[in-house]
Structure 1
């Protein structure tokens, strides 16, 4: 999609598989000479642990400040979800719910203006009982509003009762939602820690933007979980 981390090799730190689960740990250590240093001029390590078992797929991300100055933590995942995902079902069989809050107004560079836009009736359904994932072309930036202590996307095949849950954890304060021009094949519920362009915005409190930093040696960690269930 975009970004840089997905296009460069990662170090495989650990890999295992047994009767209970399979797991892999990969990392990037960013320092002098690393491609990413010119985009984010700090020394840090990002570690991803993926584990897969009968319960689902867990993603644990850890960021460590390896430098000598405080660094901002700026992170989003461009998660893509097939809809439909059940053989024999069609896009029209699907409803999605996401724990969105308010929609941020974006300028022509897709940067936040600081204002909010009213939610459409379908967006109210998106945060409520659920809505067709392709009701319109979506490329929208939302605040996150956890429900029942959880921050997540829930995709339901109404024909079969199969449900895919993407529980991302409450450290992610925003969602970006893109549905490939309402193409009817997949959409992207993208959890994001911070408001787009947060370090350069001065008129919104850091806590509201999800902007925070790590002092030297500090770590930040969050776990996301993808799992399936069946509803009648």
Structure 2
């Protein structure tokens, strides 16, 4: 089911499936998020939890193999709307299923603050054992977001000179993602933004506090660019606790991360 909220600057649509952002439009009706064309990439802005990335060899718990796909569980499950107002939506998921040994509760809050869309995800470990967790955002920004433009008319601007080559600008070009993902670790920039070269219009994602930030699209830049702040990263082996950035969450404790998207339109 789809739910909407808006203020003077932004209009947002959220799906109960995964509590996923489905659409974000500016006051001038600029569409900011990828439209999830299934033949290209069938998502808008999923959340990755309780792990980020692929588990290509599967993993095991207590010596037993556990089925696992890409980017965790929560993006594929139905969440329940538990709070709604003109500028705030809160969803809840309680999971105690066969594909993850630790029961957990997961809440997602989307809130509008002027030209900012703030998404906060909070997990609670409902099991009697420590639970390994990673959390990441996988927001697909529409590129181009101005009709009639091309992806080559855009760049990724860093707050500080931390793009490849120690500069503050990464130009976008169709071959950029032929080798898949650009992974950036240990950034000190508070934000990265997808920016229109000649106008300065931009979609800014705040990434402060995240040890990993990924840039991803498909070869040819077919209409989107993902800027992905992750708390953890992929790693070798079948033990999730060995993956970089994994946190062992004690029973009854919470793990929370926030993403802020600013529309500079």
State TM-score, norm by structure 1: 0.72
CA contact (8 A) 1:138 1:179 kept: no
Within the candidate set 143, 157, 162, 2:201 is matched to 162
> 2 CA distance for matches of 1:214 and 1:6?
20
1:44-103: per-residue Cα shift (whole Å, max 9, x none)?
11111001242311101111111111011122222111111123432221011358999x
Aligned: 1:23 with 2:85: no
Aligned: 1:142 with 2:183: yes
Q: CA deviation at 1:210?
A: 1.1
**What is the count of residue pairs matched by the alignment?**
194
CA contact (8 A) 1:100 1:143 kept: no
Equivalence for 1:118: none
Structure 1 residue ranges (4+ consecutive) displaced by more than 3 angstroms after TM superposition: 1-4, 97-102, 197-202
Within the candidate set 94, 100, 110, 1:40 is matched to 100
> 2 CA distance for matches of 1:223 and 1:154?
17
CA contact (8 A) 1:199 1:211 kept: no
CA contact (8 A) 1:166 1:227 kept: yes
Q: CA deviation at 1:42?
A: 0.6
> 1 CA distance for matches of 2:228 and 2:212?
8
More displaced 10-residue stretch of structure 1: 78-87 or 56-65 = 78-87
Greater relative CO (CA pairs within 8 A, separation 6+) = 1
1:93-152: per-residue Cα shift (whole Å, max 9, x none)?
1011358999xxxxxxxxxxxxxxxxxxx8336x6323225342242262422325x2x3
Within the candidate set 224, 228, 242, 1:190 is matched to 228
Alignment RMSD? 3.0
Q: CA deviation at 1:157?
A: 0.3
Equivalence for 1:123: 164
The structure where helix makes up a greater share of residues is: 1
For residues 46-125 of structure 1, what are the structure 2 equivalents within 5 Å? 46-97=106-157, 123-124=164-165
CA contact (8 A) 1:45 1:66 kept: yes
Change (3 A) 1:134 1:141: same
Structure 2: 5+ residue runs without aligned partners?
A: 1-42, 44-69
Change (3 A) 1:63 1:52: same
CA contact (8 A) 1:89 1:159 kept: no
CA contact (8 A) 1:168 1:223 kept: no
Equivalence for 2:80: 11
Change (3 A) 1:92 1:141: closer
> 1 CA distance for matches of 2:260 and 2:152?
26
